Amino acid sequence: MELISSDLKIDFIGKSKFALLLSFVLAIASIYIWVSRGEDKYGIDYKGGHAIVVQVPSSASSENIRSALKTADISGAIVQSFEEADGQYSIRLGGSLEETETIKSKVKDSLSKFLSADVKILQTDYVGPTIGAELRKNALIATIIGLICILIYISFRFDFSFALGAVVALFHDVIIGIGIYLACGHMINMATLAAVLTIVGYSVNDTIIVFDRVREEMMKAKSFDLDELLNRSINSTLSRTVITSLLTLFSALALLLFGGGAIADLSLFLVIGIIVGTYSTFFIASPVARAWEMRQLAKIHK
């Protein structure tokens, strides 16, 4: 199935200067959002807070509990079914250790009032900020190790210029993706990290397909113009990339619209990441690889 003709001659490389400028502006804006949000950008997983298990009537749903907490001005709570059949739910929200009893009472009172039923607090756990900071550090280390492994793998399979293009595109996707996600008012938690790693894998797969076509074209041609070859390779894989992106995007949108809770958080980042990742496949990875290759050629001819 070919959604877009492979005979198209879109000048992706020619448009890359504007695309790189746009990406630079978005990256700076994303970093600004990251810094300006401070500790507020982290969810309970990464800054500490409370995990409360409650028992409500079995007829109540996760959405009912979220509405009850919202009515009581309890913001940023993550609600997940614990034992849905028995009406047990886990509620995760911020707050210090000294506020534990106050938070428990507020949660219980808001649920009892909204659901017009007796609500029991079955368990309360507190995650301290030290543990949250350790989790943040481990998440950052895991992401950096993943990017280094990708750089090494693509360097062996292709060439360093391609590896550099792929890794720059991945940094681009992660930084801008997180910036847009935070701008939407969401917080970074475990689900966000899972989505980030998913997008990293998705984006590098798209990029490798384009680079594989570039390598094929290089092997077939006795001599070639690098810009023309890169454009031809991107255009020839355009239909496949767009179809894959659209199908994945529709699945993520379905989760976003009907998932709720942590699933909605994860799927929102997936939607953002798929769009940004597809854009970087066309306008970031190959132009960066080209820029490095041209730089090396200029050194040789000096």
Q: What is the CATH number of the domain that holds 57?
A: 3.30.70.100
Q: How many beta carbons lie within 10 A of that of residue 268, not counting itself? A: 22
Same structural domain for residues 165 and 204?
A: yes
Tell me the CATH number at 251: 1.20.1640.10
Whether the model pTM is above 0.75: yes
Q: How far apart are CA 161 and CA 180, in angstroms?
A: 28
> 148 and 203 share a domain?
yes
The last residue of one of the domains, among 109, 127, 145, is 127
Determine the pLDDT at residue 233.
86
Same domain, 148 and 295: yes
Quote the number of domains for the chain. 2
62 and 27 part of one domain: no
Q: Which two tokens stand for residue 122?
A: 């079955």
Q: Where in the sequence is the domain holding 76, given as residue range(s)?
A: 49-127
Within-domain flag for 1: no
Measured N-to-C along each axis, helices 16-37 and 286-300 cross at an angle, to the nearest 10 degrees, of 110
- Indicate whether 295 belongs to any domain: yes
275 is a domain residue: yes
Residue 4 falls within a domain, yes or no? no
Q: Is residue 3 part of a domain?
A: no
Asked if 256 and 233 sit in the same domain, the reply is yes
Please indicate, yes or no, whether residues 137 and 123 belong to a single structural domain of this protein: no
Alpha helices for 86-220 (secondary structure H):
100-115, 129-157, 160-183, 190-220
For residue 2, being part of any structural domain is answered with: no
3-state secondary structure 190-246: HHHHHHHHHHHHHHHHHHHHHHHHHHHHHHHCCCCCHHHHHHHHHHHCHHHHHHHHH
pLDDT value, residue 83 = 55
- Closest residue by Cα to residue 74 from 48, 60, 89, 93: 93
* 107 and 54 Cβ atoms separated by less than 8 Å: yes
Examine the domain organization and report whether 180 and 123 are in the same domain: no
What confidence score (pLDDT) does residue 32 get? 95
10-residue block means of pLDDT along the chain (302 residues)? 65 88 95 87 76 80 81 76 70 77 84 81 76 77 82 81 88 93 85 85 87 82 77 86 89 83 82 93 89 74 59
Is 10 among the domain residues? no
Residue 81 lies in a domain: yes
pLDDT for position 131 = 66
